[in-house]
Homo-oligomer: A and B are copies of this chain.
Amino acid sequence: MKDIKVKVLRLGHRPGRDKRLTTHVGLVARAFGADEISLSKDDEKVKESIIDVTKRFGGNFKVEINDEWKQTMKNWKGDIYHLTMYGEKISSYEEKLKKRDKDVLIVLGAEKVPRIVYDLADYNISVTNQPHSEVAALAIFLDRLFDGKELNLDFDGEIKVIPQAEGKYIEKN
């Protein structure tokens, strides 16, 4: 499935308030098959949480701390998708996404996103034109990119959850 590189760029947000949300963004990026997330300096603790999950549950997901997000966008070789409720409907892009013919940078803002983000992005894409959640938008985007296959990834970790109709079953390697 990992025929291309997929990186998530989480733009600066209000310190303190959005740490849990940023952690969820990072965990979704990992669980849904992205390779890496870039966070801002304020997010060292978020980085630790995500790395801890990766250690226990497996995979090679990377967390970068980098405040130079404009450079990240300018230097990206591949397509840049900025997810925003104001953008074009993702349903118009499903065929293009499925092709996965270029590396993908997914840009996620918090509340106010500077105009330059819209300009530096190749595509401004909406997952519904309603206000909801960057966590959900990222999940749906990665689902369309990986065509549902991301839901059955095997991370080969120390801890492996074995699906159960009732209760919990974990294998430890």
Contact = CB atoms under 8 A, between A and B. Distances in A.
B128 A86 contact: no
A65 interface: no
A131 B151 CA distance: 12
Interface in A35-91: 53, 57, 85-91
Nearest to A164: B86
Number of this chain's copies in the assembly equals 2
A28 B149 CA distance: 22
Interface string A13-52: 0000110110011011011100000000000000000000
Contact of A20 (B18, B124, B143, B152): B18
Interface of A: 17-18, 20-21, 24-25, 27-28, 30-32, 53, 57, 85-91, 115, 118-119, 123-124, 126-133, 135-136, 138-140, 143, 148, 150-153, 155, 160-169
